[in-house]
Structure 1
């Protein structure tokens, strides 16, 4: 309609930016377990200024970290922007300078060629360091208590992933990076390892079949798996005013498999039909095979087609991918594990890279066909039993994060944490559950006096 004002959905409701940095003591309803001591850190996109790009994408906002600190039955909250070089440059200018994903067509000439990192996707605790991560730049170190930005972790020597995996046996952090090369949207991929002391001990590059947005990957005890799926990046498209990242199913789907101790020249490429995975649950080794449980989409959601036309709405379901390392076929065997729409799957971190029994994820029992996170699910892969904690009144949950009861507790014995937006009150709560008894409901609720905008990932740290 003529004169109609289009509202960007990523700048409205609980996607809308929150520009205050606050410290709160939280009211607690119920009882926070005495053994739950540490902090849940979460991060997400939060544009400092009104974006320049009318088609601003949720993934492109400045990173803001939210810390929930728990001890002695009490809870406090603190949030701070990640003060990246981009954030500082725009803060000084008092306005947005960069286009979405650094798009040169919508970037102010004053910022052309400058660092566009946002550190908005994940935040991990490894080797005594808190690192804010995204897919295009080095990790940003932050003080875990004050959330002061300490700057780039220069030892990584270039971009890294937002989704490293920490080996529970060795303490190593295994990571990757995509679009590595001189030009934007290059086809290079890096494979890297940070040892248990926090030293980067490996970084090797290889070429992918094409430039794909590789949001996450899979790691087992002895192997690493790189999914190259047809959500493609293209500088040529971007320079024509078309979408920098777009769904291009004709490219096909590939997963590169390599031993962790091998040279990148040994990668073997497996394939399957066009699909997309933002997040795997976990992967492990079993009798000459690699097995990965993944949240699989038929098409990439949230992104347009390569011709610029709107993409198809889609939801993910849990699938199992099997790679036969001893066979002659490079086809990936696929089988569904669950019939419930979901996203943000998590395991007990002590089971990462190993065969797991338990998984948790944000779920949509309404089958809306989109990423509508109105429930939290637990799936016992041994018994096949699924538990569900459903939210009501339009409330929506973040990614659930598991915290072990102790280092020696059985897999799954511990607590589940989740930040939930209360739609009617337009504020948020931190919910704490017994991880294996979701249907019981939260055993404690820490009430935030305002909202925590929708974000991406979080992790627990004990320090």
Structure 2
């Protein structure tokens, strides 16, 4: 499969699925700190069967969870499919049934109207539950030890985001959903809150300025920010054979700002020039303003234009958005923070919603405007100093994940873990770095006997 250039690029190389579910003890080179105990959970798309959609999109594959369990300097690996209703239906049929994003035009008639959730985008721990997330369905609860699928968290009463925010002060999980309502690909959205005890305490619906892919959002101690950017959604377009999601810069770009305890009718819409943001680094409040550091693209990558023509080749860079809540202008002030192409930005989770100093991200040291990142970067936003660890040529990294050294360690004092693909050997490694000494390279490497396909997000859980 990997060498067949005629098939979809999202099914080749390290995008190609690994369909075995395995358990391995991993040999370690170097020394994993004894204090580092827990698990790095990663998730990504991994189609169970060959997709039926000739235009299969990477984002549409079945979710597979990869667990790296670390204890006493040793590493165990386990991977399992998220057994969603879609996975179960296709497993019983022995073939693919659903089109990309559940597109009815490319879905088998027997599966029309059925649950097409893939649970492939993020995996988070909150209130003692490990949950696999995506943007169109409820969270799917997983057993953190066995990675067995427990099932939907029904209390969410519908679709949720793949990117909730965990408030380190209150313990709440703040989340949203898009495409809400009876009509697929609609402008309907929800705002929700889950208490520290795991109970959903709020879910309110509202209408965005237009229907679009809202992959992530920002949360501060007192506000939520909803980015409505022109990667638009259209059922009519999809039914005509054109892309369900496409780049339409003429729609403009908006960010809705609302108090967390406010009514959805009070959202204030700020604006900026057309752009796209998959992932913010963090956001906080200071002196009547909201400040958000985000990875900004000039145009949405990976998606076509509305007429189906290929989209622009573009990459993201870290910028700072400032929202003046006391001012009369609804324009977003923007200033650059870094000149290195990057993605998957992360902070110390203990400062999410609060002002941060340190950030880590996957980077492209060549600034080649690609989604493939061959380096890991650390940026000190107080001093402006940047450290970069470049992987050997051809190797590529996943999202770097920060873990604090202890609960009361200073911000940024801890480790960063990342899964990297070794291109020449076509397999993967787990790397462990000292978080503020990235340029030194990994202090430990746990070697996989095979590869972990490119995925999306991961989080560290202290089990």
Residue-by-residue CA offset, 1:322-354 (whole Å, 9 max, x unaligned): 000000000000111000000000000001000
Q: Which blocks of at least 5 consecutive residues in structure 1 are unaligned?
A: none
Contact 1:393–1:424 (CA<8 Å) still a contact in 2?
A: no
1:215 aligns to 2:215 (yes or no)? yes
Q: Tell me which residue corresponds to 1:124.
A: 124
Q: Which blocks of at least 5 consecutive residues in structure 2 are unaligned?
A: none
* Counterpart Cα distance in 2 of 1:372 and 1:72: 33
Q: Tell me which residue corresponds to 2:150.
A: 150
Q: Tell me which residue corresponds to 1:262.
A: 262
RMSD: 0.8
Q: Tell me which residue corresponds to 2:187.
A: 187
* Counterpart Cα distance in 2 of 1:377 and 1:32: 20
* Counterpart Cα distance in 2 of 1:135 and 1:367: 29
**TM-score (ref. length: structure 2):** 0.99
Q: Tell me which residue corresponds to 2:178.
A: 178
Number of matched residues? 460
Deviation at 1:372, TM superposition (A): 2.0
* Counterpart Cα distance in 2 of 1:169 and 1:386: 29
Q: Tell me which residue corresponds to 2:406.
A: 406
Residue-by-residue CA offset, 1:332-391 (whole Å, 9 max, x unaligned): 001110000000000000010000000000000111111120000000000000000001
Residue-by-residue CA offset, 1:3-29 (whole Å, 9 max, x unaligned): x97331100000001000000000011
1:166 aligns to 2:166 (yes or no)? yes
* Counterpart Cα distance in 1 of 2:147 and 2:303: 32
Helix, strand or coil at the partner of 1:180: coil
* Counterpart Cα distance in 2 of 1:100 and 1:379: 36
Q: Tell me which residue corresponds to 1:32.
A: 32
* Counterpart Cα distance in 1 of 2:371 and 2:452: 18
* Counterpart Cα distance in 2 of 1:333 and 1:439: 32
Helix, strand or coil at the partner of 2:59: helix
Contact 2:121–2:162 (CA<8 Å) still a contact in 1?
A: yes
Q: Tell me which residue corresponds to 1:363.
A: 363
* Counterpart Cα distance in 1 of 2:20 and 2:445: 23
Q: Tell me which residue corresponds to 2:448.
A: 448
Q: Tell me which residue corresponds to 1:457.
A: 457
Q: Tell me which residue corresponds to 1:229.
A: 229
Q: Tell me which residue corresponds to 2:310.
A: 310
Helix, strand or coil at the partner of 2:446: strand
Residue-by-residue CA offset, 1:135-173 (whole Å, 9 max, x unaligned): 000000000000000000000000000000000001000
Distance 1:356 1:236, change over 3 A: same
* Counterpart Cα distance in 1 of 2:276 and 2:400: 21
Deviation at 1:31, TM superposition (A): 0.8
Q: Tell me which residue corresponds to 1:84.
A: 84
* Counterpart Cα distance in 1 of 2:6 and 2:104: 23
* Counterpart Cα distance in 2 of 1:350 and 1:47: 34
Q: Tell me which residue corresponds to 1:20.
A: 20
Q: Tell me which residue corresponds to 1:421.
A: 421
* Counterpart Cα distance in 2 of 1:56 and 1:312: 19
Q: Tell me which residue corresponds to 1:297.
A: 297
1:64 aligns to 2:71 (yes or no)? no
Residue-by-residue CA offset, 1:81-118 (whole Å, 9 max, x unaligned): 00000000000000000000000000000000000000
Q: Tell me which residue corresponds to 1:54.
A: 54
* Counterpart Cα distance in 2 of 1:68 and 1:80: 12
Deviation at 1:276, TM superposition (A): 0.1
* Counterpart Cα distance in 1 of 2:306 and 2:124: 33
Contact 2:5–2:12 (CA<8 Å) still a contact in 1?
A: no
* Counterpart Cα distance in 1 of 2:5 and 2:68: 37
1:204 aligns to 2:200 (yes or no)? no
